[in-house]
Homo-oligomer: A and B are copies of this chain.
């Protein structure tokens, strides 16, 4: 066993405090929090003020600290902190999905150059050890797909609309009261949060680096009573699914509300829980399920990363080397349910192979095919008169 790791912490919100608590409660882990960098000088703190600093350099320039744990919510500042810490030879643990998704290729290169490890299990699906499993266990198994419910807030809302017949607006308010949704819920409900997670998973599943803006995401903010009725009548549920798969010589990936039947494991994933399903050539479907958000699940994932650093663990990014030449592509047709305002929209979106059309005084929809490329170009999150769900 190595010497005790000394941790410098950035941020002391729910996760930071959870981590501090856990490290002080768990005997097995050879690590202690030594210094904590925070923003607000006036805020009362639950532990000795000697721990705190307001200057990031007190941690970054302190050679006696081995590990930086970055738990702030500003992606740009976080990138500066993480990149600097890696260049100074420190190991880094981060939970910042937006920052990692936006800078993953650069962070990969900095790790290759400096030899300093960056671990970020907590950035994707909280306590589910999906990155570690993709890195270590599914190295070789001819993976062909990954699907995930990666956002607890939207899954909570979708559970309430489907099981308790609540409207989207009421369910969102309930999620906010429960503390799941941000006061500005756009990142969650417009599916930016799961898109950042998918961007990270694309690298560890298939070895491709993709910019978040090239990945299609459409959320659940336009879900109407008519959409819920349609879903219920078909015996289905809507889940917000992040998907990637290998199709011949290309990789596709996108986040979209998806109609799920009862024989699918995702059907049983309720409330704020997350789940990931891997499709592999020889082991078929592997399914992981657990709490995706909140202080303790996230702290638990950060803790596992710190513990792994004690044993000198690092991501090897083997798939980047193995599969790095496969291109990411949005040229891919999917089957969809489209509730639309007028025919011109269907034309604009280029919906083809229309197999069902329904219209009444309340709603009109079609079932047909559409390409991810068309969806991406349609800026759907800017509209409020459209709902689209993949027909799985």
Contacts and interface: CB of A to CB of B under 8 A. Distances in A.
Interface of A: 18, 22, 25-26, 28-29, 126-129, 132-133, 136-142, 265, 267-268, 280, 282-291, 296-297, 299-301, 303-304, 307-308, 311, 316, 318, 322
Nearest to A121: B137
A284 B289 contact: no
Contact of A140 (B26, B139, B322): B26
A322 B304 CA distance: 16
A359 to B, nearest CB: 36
Given A132-B136, A137-B129, A139-B307, A291 B300 contact: no
Given A127-B280, A284-B296, 20 more contacts: A25-B142, A26-B142, A28-B139, A28-B140, A28-B318, A127-B283, A129-B286, A136-B136, A136-B308, A139-B304, A140-B304, A265-B289, A267-B268, A280-B300, A282-B300, A283-B291, A285-B290, A287-B287, A288-B289, A311-B316
* Top 5 A-B pairs, shortest CB-CB distance: A127-B283, A287-B289, A282-B300, A283-B300, A286-B290
A56 B18 CA distance: 54
Contacts of A287: 287-290
A149 to B, nearest CB: 13
B286 A299 contact: no
Contacts of A26: 140-142
Contacts of A132: 133, 136-137
Contact of A283 (B136, B140, B290, B318): B290
Given A283-B297, A299-B282, A140 B291 contact: no
Contacts of A137: 129, 132, 304
Contacts of A127: 280, 282-284, 286
Contacts of A291: 283-285
B300 A141 contact: yes
Contacts of A289: 265, 285-289
Contacts of A283: 126-127, 290-291, 296-297, 300-301
Contacts of A142: 25-26
Contact of A288 (B286, B300, B307, B318): B286
B290 A140 contact: no
A309 to B, nearest CB: 12
Contacts of A299: 282
A307 B303 CA distance: 27
Contacts of A136: 132, 136, 308
Nearest to A142: B26
Contact of A29 (B28, B140, B297): B140
Contacts of A268: 265, 267-268
A304 B129 contact: no
A246 to B, nearest CB: 13
A285 B18 CA distance: 18
Given A284-B290, A286-B128, A291-B283, A303 B141 contact: yes
A260 to B, nearest CB: 12
